[in-house]
Structure 1
Amino acid sequence: MTDMTWSQATSINLISIVIVLLFAGSIVQGFMRGGSGSAKHLLSMLLEAVIVILSVVIAWKGVQLISPLLQTWLKGQNLQVPAEEIGILKQTYYTAMTSLRDFTLLRFGVLFLLGYMIVKQLLNLLIYPFIGPWLAERYAQPERNKSFLSSVSGGAIGSVAGFARALLLIAVLFIYVTLFPHSPVTPYIESSQMYQKGAKEVIAPFTGDFITEKVPVFTRAVEEEFTNILQRKYEVLDAKIPNNISDAAKEVTARGQTDEEKAKLLYKWVGSSVKYDWDKVKLYEEKRIWKEQTPEDTFNTREGVCIDYSRLYAQMARSIGLDVKVVTGLGYDGQGSYGPHAWNEVYLKETNRWVPLDSTWVASGGNWFNPPNFDQTHVKDA
């Protein structure tokens, strides 16, 4: 094989191959089924598509009405996490219920999924008893000795089904490319001529600017909410604040006048009072043993890793009335890469904003209380 031939062979795009095979496979199926069988299959596909579309529309409209009512009801249930030790089942319950109450997209998504499944099942029960017998009667007998004309008509019908399937695949790829333009896979998808043709000539004109402009905004909102849900588990897990931690927080922040001053005093105290536990890291890296500890453990031993610093800071901040989050994600290791990390965000009422801080890095020097470009060294989970 020459270099030119090898280059051509290795440059074949698998996306194009899958699209062609999907289309060609549907034609072959139609040819084998014949006109009658292919027509029945196509009608079944169309009926299923109609039911799916109706289910989506009805569920969407229904959730728009139900979601605010559910939020109002949940707010009236006094879902306050008990300030005491609670088991895993109660932790899960309070995390789920308070998340449904506070996070709009999560609540909408859960209700929509349930609504879609219920509505689709009801439509199947209502429609198929009427349409099913007609399809069975209309196409009752399989074509045992199909004529050439029947096979050709079946292939033609199969091509319609194949076009729909190929277009659906291209639509999914189009959404992926729009949401993840910097993904390593994206350039490969876009290099497919079959994809380009379908995306540019059918999908893009049909959707207009909706996918390219609206969907990324929605995705960022989902990522932000998902991050908040991940943080909620620590709020539930550490709801009980021991007296020694509460008393220490009051003493540390006694001279603070504003939320920012109090938050900074706690940031400096936690960062300078707790020693980084390298033995805990070594135990996990070498033996995969994770030494779980509570904020009270960290307070008493004065040792911990980033998540322990962050949970202790959060408890101390909440004990003096500050609104604070535990944030997980990736932190810059100073050697050109990122590793698992945790830090905090605290709400400052005076300026009406959330600001980030990293008490773990206090010992390394520098200012890590809301410094410029904090997000260049800290990347949230999403």
Structure 2
Amino acid sequence: MSTLYQEVTRAAAFGLLVNLLLGTVKLIGGIIGNSFALIADAVNSIGDVVTTIAVLFALRVAQRPADAEHPYGHTRAEGIAATNVALLVIISALLVGWEAIQRITVPHAIPPVWTLWIAGANMLIKEGLYQYKIRVGKRTGSAAIIANAWDHRSDAFCSLAVLIGLGAVRFGRESLFWADDVASLVVVAAIVWTGVQLFRSSANELMDAQADPEFVKQIERIALNTPGVEEVETLWVRKSGLEFFADIHIEVDQHLSVAEGHRIGHEVKDRLVAGFPNLRDVLVHLEPFPHTHVQGNDADDSRGDRRRTVLVTNVTAPLRDGSKPENELRLQTNETQNGGTTDV
């Protein structure tokens, strides 16, 4: 197991144990103390436990080496697990919210004062988990752990809402019996929002969305600083689990030998892999410099195929059938990104 996966796995396992303990305490406290807000918060923690188990399992699968059926490895296992877990979290939260809405107009017993202590302790512990995981996430470059850290910060704010709701019920007596259920709805809203964000992030990963712009700029900067690299023509970076794959087109002196160009390409790859521990592989493609572009419409290189029109004038050679050609011949070409080739 690589150092990256070891540290991330350790952080995830620690969070699992803490969430399991907190979820159990809050669930028991909410049932005994008649606080639906605590029960909702317990569901949140239990959802975090399920999420973490899925992440740990996915981390185990993601570390399997590439094989004939999976030449790019198994790193997407984490993204697949995350989308399923996000949907489960959203559905669970909506069920809790529906129950809270049904209870909100029905008077019920006032929670005991010790439920306030549970909510307060949970808030402090969750904030501590946030501080720990955000440091691990930034150090390892793990987007999963960073997202998990912000989930803990969201939980801390949820606990603050529960604390306020319980305090209002406790000290406002019967007139504010509904405050506990309102607090649980705040928790539900936060859980749903977090679930939607996690699902969106995981779905983007599975659809090969471009990585964070700042990360892409860092990769481009290192490539440009490599001796022999004149320009970076195209750079695509996609996330796959805890790791990234990069495809980069660099421009080198067109008079270089194939061997020299190959050496420069390898140096670019070696520098990038050494500079970013979470960059699993880099595919380097060479382009001649200066790069000759066909005259036509300007287009962003990152948008795939570009359709261009080339005008060929004063064509005077007779055609095969003996007829005379038109004075102006219009050729439509497709210029692809791969290898800079042009098919007519």
Larger helix proportion, structure 1 or 2? 1
- What is the TM-score of this pair, normalised by structure 2? 0.30
Q: Which has the higher contact order (CA 8 A, sep 6+)?
A: 1
- What is the TM-score of this pair, normalised by structure 1? 0.27
